[in-house]
Chains A and B, each alone.
Chain A
Amino acid sequence: AQKVTQAQTEISVVEKEDVTLDCVYETRDTTYYLFWYKQPPSGELVFLIRRNSFDEQNEISGRYSWNFQKSTSSFNFTITASQVVDSAVYFCALSEAADSWGKLQFGAGTQVVVTP
């Protein structure tokens, strides 16, 4: 069963618009980690953020912000004032204690297209 769901396949925005990417996860563990990765057209996977299950504080890093809500099992990602360079596929991922932290289970990814 899919443990990480990214329901949005593709989001298209015009530059300077905000875009929010949804991520819903499923786990029975009380201790787990959530991640976001970016895959630009060049193909490499770039780590953006890691959040543990005990830290529900929202985080902001520049134009990026993350909203973690355990009550809804969601870890959403917002890009504020999007730029063309933000065009990429964004992956949400889950790591569970039950897997000895080894596995990153990825969602299907959301393609973000930012046009000038």
Chain B
Amino acid sequence: DAGVIQSPRHEVTEMGQEVTLRCKPISGHDYLFWYRQTMMRGLELLIYFNNNVPIDDSGMPEDRFSAKMPNASFSTLKIQPSEPRDSAVYFCASGRQAGEQFFGPGTRLTVL
């Protein structure tokens, strides 16, 4: 079975532009997570979904960030407008209840 798929792997954009990150979870997993990793803050959970429903978005830094999961096999994380401080590696992960989470390869975002 394929692992968690994320696209793009790298994104370079200019401040103010909209950025959309995409994730395809592992088939059969009912949890999907978005994390952000920076040197300063480490790994932070931004939001997670259970059965396509957002359960906890308390980690989303501000209204510029939004996430959707229209179906069990696809999720997006959008930043609009982007700012240089959003530069980070964004990971998507999927899993089953109380189980291990399997991480995608990450998207390295650079906002100039």
A residues adjacent to B (C-beta < 8 A)? 33, 35, 37, 43-47, 50, 52, 91, 95, 99-106, 108-109
Contacts and interface: CB of A to CB of B under 8 A. Distances in A.
A52 to B, nearest CB: 8
A44 B105 contact: yes
B89 to A, nearest CB: 7
Contacts of A45: 91, 93, 103
Contact of A106 (B43, B99, B106): B43
A102 B50 contact: yes
Interface in B32-60: 33, 42-43, 45, 48, 50, 55-56
Given A45-B91, A47-B101, A102 B42 contact: no
B98 interface: yes
Interface of B: 31, 33, 42-43, 45, 48, 50, 55-56, 89, 91, 93, 97-106, 108
Contact of B97 (A47, A101, A103, A104): A101
B106 A43 contact: yes
B91 A101 contact: no
Nearest to A2: B42
A43 B105 contact: yes
A103 B98 contact: no
Given A44-B106, A101-B98, 20 more contacts: A33-B98, A43-B106, A44-B103, A45-B91, A46-B103, A47-B100, A47-B101, A50-B100, A102-B31, A102-B48, A102-B55, A103-B45, A104-B33, A104-B45, A105-B45, A106-B42, A106-B43, A108-B42, A109-B42, A109-B43
